Structure formats: C-alpha cells, structure tokens
Amino acid sequence: MLLHISSFQLDIDSQRASPWHQLVPQTRVLCALLFVFATALTPNGHWWTWTIYAIGLAIGIRLSRSTLSVLLKRVAIESTFLGVVLLGTLFRQGGTVLWQWGSLQITTLGLMILGSVAFKALLCLLMLNLLVLTTPVPALLNALIVLKVPPLLVAILASMYRYIAVLIEEFQKMRQAATARNLMRYSRWQRLIMGNMIGSLFIRTYERGDRIHQAMLSRGYTGLPPAVTFSKVRQPDIKVLTLTVIWLLLGQIIYL
C-alpha cells in the first residue's frame, strides 16, 4: 500500500537550485498534469509520440538535477503492476501469433499493447515522481488552490497529510502492545486483534478530530483555512508552460 513508508520525507530534492526549481509550484503541477494526461490518454501504438515526450522528460529531469538513483528506485517499486498487462498479453487473440502453448499465446497485438501500456505508465511515473521529489507538499497544496481546486478539499487534504504519520505511529504502538502480550500467535487471534485495533483506532481518531477542532476554534478558526500568499507567475513560468504545450502538441501532430 504505502510503498515509501520508510522514507516519509518525499521532497528530498526540493532545496536545489535549478531552472526547474525556479518555476512556481503551480507551473510545475500544471506541466506535470498536462504531460501525464497527454501521455496516458494517447491511443496504444503511438510510439513516436511517447518517444518525443520521453526526450522532453529526459531534458526536464536533467535540468531539475534531481537524484536519479532515488527517482529510478521509486519508479521501479511502483512498476510492479505491469504483471497484469503481461497476463492479459498471454491470453489475447488478434494480430499474428508469434508463440503458442495450449491456450496461452503471444500475438503481435498483445505485444503492442504490453509495450504501449508499459511505456505510458513508465513516463507518467517518472513525471509524477519528479514533481513530488522536487516540490514540498505544502507548495503542492498551495498550487492546487491556485489551480481552482475547491479550498475545502485542499484543506481536508492538508489536514489528512498532517495526521497520516500520527495515526500510523499510533497503530504501530497498538500492534507492538499486542505482540508483547503474545496475542498475535494464531491467525484467528490476529484477525480479531487487528479488527479490534481498527475499531479502537477509529474511536481514538474521532476523539482526536474533536480535540483538533476545539484547538483550531480556540486559535480563531472560522471554517476556512487562512489565506496563503501565492508566488507570482513570472516570465520563465509562462515560457516553460508554452514550451510544454508546444512539445505535447508536436507529439500528437505526428499521427494526425
């Protein structure tokens, strides 16, 4: 589920100085969004489109000076789902049959889909990881407000992000307590303890929510998050955004 729990700090490269880091967060988010949507929604088989996008992304990664090893490691962990498409490839009909064994077969169509989906997924993962590695979470949330995501939703996202680590720690304490009392020996017990823990965690969570609410009220909370100051869009932002759009369109034009 949470693949990066060991490294809870996500934005390890956020303090660097590079052309990419000079962009305001909303520009980075917008570039990433455009890139991901353009890549993922291109129909299967458009190899040249993705090649052009990959070149653009490579330039972006180079310019951002992010830590390549971390980036690739994260993408590698997240790419395990490709097995699903592999499975689909084995049973697919259509195209020329290249290899057959009983009802299993590999066809040209199957390979084309496997390659396309893998290419698309990989590019999207690289782009999103680049964004998260280089941009701190508060900046990402601010960018969402600038991009007209409802403030209430962003406020809930922010408050959730703040409490994830707290709740995970609370749960781990409960589990440690159960293990220390030798309650995790049989799977039947384990299920009961885990279920009870989740129930108890909910009660604690709900009460915690009330306490947070009281604390917020006592600090003058009125129902909306305090206004934040946004970084202004500058010349380079507009340039990069235009360049991204042109690049993405260029990739699509090839197949028109």
Interface of this chain with another protein, residues 80 to 99, rule: CB under 8 A: 80-81, 83-88, 91-93
Which tokens sit at 2?
A: 């949470």
How far from the centroid of its chain's Cα atoms is residue 175's Cα?
Answer: 28
Q: Which of 34, 54, 146, 155 binds another protein (CB under 8 A)?
A: 155
Site string for another protein, 115-134 (x = CB under 8 A): -xx-xxx--xx--xx--x--
Q: How many residues bind another protein (CB under 8 A)?
A: 87
Tokens 């455009």 belong to residue: 34
Which tokens sit at 78?
A: 């997240």
Q: Does 138 bind another protein (CB under 8 A)?
A: no
DSSP letter at 223 equals S
Nearest distance from C-beta of residue 238 to another protein, angstroms: 23
Q: Which of 43, 102, 220, 226 binds another protein (CB under 8 A)?
A: 43
Interface of this chain with another protein, residues 188 to 247, rule: CB under 8 A: 188-192, 194-203, 205-206, 208-210, 212-213, 216-217, 221-223, 225
Q: Which of 51, 27, 30 is nearest to 39 (CA)?
A: 51
Q: Which stretch binds another protein (CB under 8 A): 13-21, 51-59, 163-171, 241-249?
A: 163-171
Nearest distance from C-beta of residue 235 to another protein, angstroms: 28
Residue 117 contacts residue 85 (beta carbons within 8 Å): yes
Nearest distance from C-beta of residue 3 to another protein, angstroms: 6
How far from the centroid of its chain's Cα atoms is residue 234's Cα?
Answer: 27
Q: Does 1 bind another protein (CB under 8 A)?
A: yes
Q: How far apart (Å, rounded) are the C-alpha atoms in residues 161 and 10? A: 12
Which tokens sit at 230?
A: 């946004």
- Neighbouring C-alpha atoms within 13 Å toward the C-beta of 17: 0
